[in-house]
């Protein structure tokens, strides 16, 4: 059926529009397809990485149950090197730090904690690594250790860990016999801890002991 004049005019306009903008339209569509393909590929890669990392972490758990310290630490090292972007890498580093510490190798334990504190993709593990690292630095107690702990504690707390950050700052002051500042930090931590009901009761009991030791009042 022949087109009427108005339809023919619309068709001509469409052809003219396509001739003028077809390269741009084709480019945008192609870019969108590439972006989607890249995103899909990345999601597949992440899932694949996590699956392999979980298997390696299971190997580490088996080694722990066997009491094989060397194999446990090797698995943690492999997770750091090959799967640093997965939560398993930080989780295994925290476990390896505990095992190294129990074996009397504090330097190696702190290496694992420093790695997790810098590289963890999971905010919870990141916070735990920083808190455990600062605790060990405070315990070692050299001027350099206090300075490193101070630098970490000056960073913004990971959300949800504000109370523990304040408590660790109190520990930092107390180790340097600054009782007044330690009390302030512990009291501030106590307020935060009571607002964060998800923390276990043991955390409150431990903080109360610290508060009592510096003459604070925990209610």
Say if pTM beats, i.e. exceeds, 0.85: no
The 10 Å CB-count burial string (b at 16+, else e) for 154-193 is eeebbeebbbbbbbbbbbbbbbeeeeeebbbbbbbbbebb
Q: Return the residue matching tokens 């508060």.
A: 211
Average pLDDT on 184-212 reads 85
Quick count: other Cβ atoms within 10 Å of Cβ 100?
Answer: 22
Q: Yes or no: say if 208 and 187 are a contact pair by the CB < 8 Å rule.
A: no
- Max Cα distance, the chain (Å): 97
Q: At residue 160, what are phi and psi to the nearest 5 degrees? A: 95, -10
Least confident of 1-10, 106-115, 163-172, 183-192: 1-10
- Asked if pLDDT for residue 102 goes beyond 80, the answer is yes
Which pLDDT score is estimated for 201?
Answer: 80
Q: What integer pLDDT is reported at residue 46 of this predicted model?
A: 54
pLDDT of amino acid 79: 81
Q: How far apart are CA 191 and CA 163, in angstroms?
A: 8
Q: 55 or 132, which is more confident?
A: 132
Helices (H), the chain: 5-66, 69-82, 87-102, 106-119, 123-140, 143-153, 162-175, 179-195, 201-213
Read off the pLDDT of residues 143-174 as tens digits, 9 standing for 90 and up: 999 999 999 999 998 888 899 999 999 999 99
Compute the distance between CA of residue 92 and CA of residue 100 in angstroms, rounded to an integer: 12
Count the Cβ atoms, other than its own, within 10 Å of residue 120: 23
Q: Please, what are the domains in the chain? A: 12-122 (1.25.40.10)
Q: Which tokens in the block code for residue 71?
A: 């194999």
pLDDT value of position 43: 47
Q: How confident is the model at residue 15 (pLDDT cuts 50, 70, 90)?
A: low
Lowest mean pLDDT among 4-13, 88-97, 158-167, 197-206: 4-13
CA distance 149 to 136: 9
């Amino acid at each position: 059926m022949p087109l009427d004049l108005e339809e023919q005019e619309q068709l001509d306009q469409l052809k003219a529009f396509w001739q003028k903008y077809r390269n741009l339209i084709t480019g945008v569509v192609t870019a969108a397809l590439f972006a989607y393909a890249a995103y899909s590929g990345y999601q597949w890669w992440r899932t694949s990485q996590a699956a392999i990392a979980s298997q390696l972490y299971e190997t580490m758990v088996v080694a722990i149950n066997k009491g094989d310290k060397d194999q446990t630490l090797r698995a943690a090292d492999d997770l750091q090197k090959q799967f640093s972007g997965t939560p398993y890498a930080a989780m295994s580093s925290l476990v390896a730090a505990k095992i190294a510490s129990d074996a009397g190798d504090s330097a190696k334990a702190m290496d694992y904690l420093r790695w997790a504190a810098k590289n963890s993709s999971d905010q919870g593990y990141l916070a735990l690594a920083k808190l455990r690292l600062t605790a060990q630095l405070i315990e070692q107690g050299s001027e350099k250790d206090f300075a490193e702990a101070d630098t970490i504690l000056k960073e913004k707390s990971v959300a949800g860990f504000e109370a523990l950050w304040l408590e660790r700052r109190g520990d930092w002051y107390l180790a340097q016999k600054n009782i007044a500042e330690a009390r302030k930090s512990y009291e501030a931590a106590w307020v935060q801890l009571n607002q964060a009901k998800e923390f276990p009761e043991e955390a409150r009991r431990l903080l109360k002991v610290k508060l009592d030791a510096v003459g604070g009042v925990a209610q």
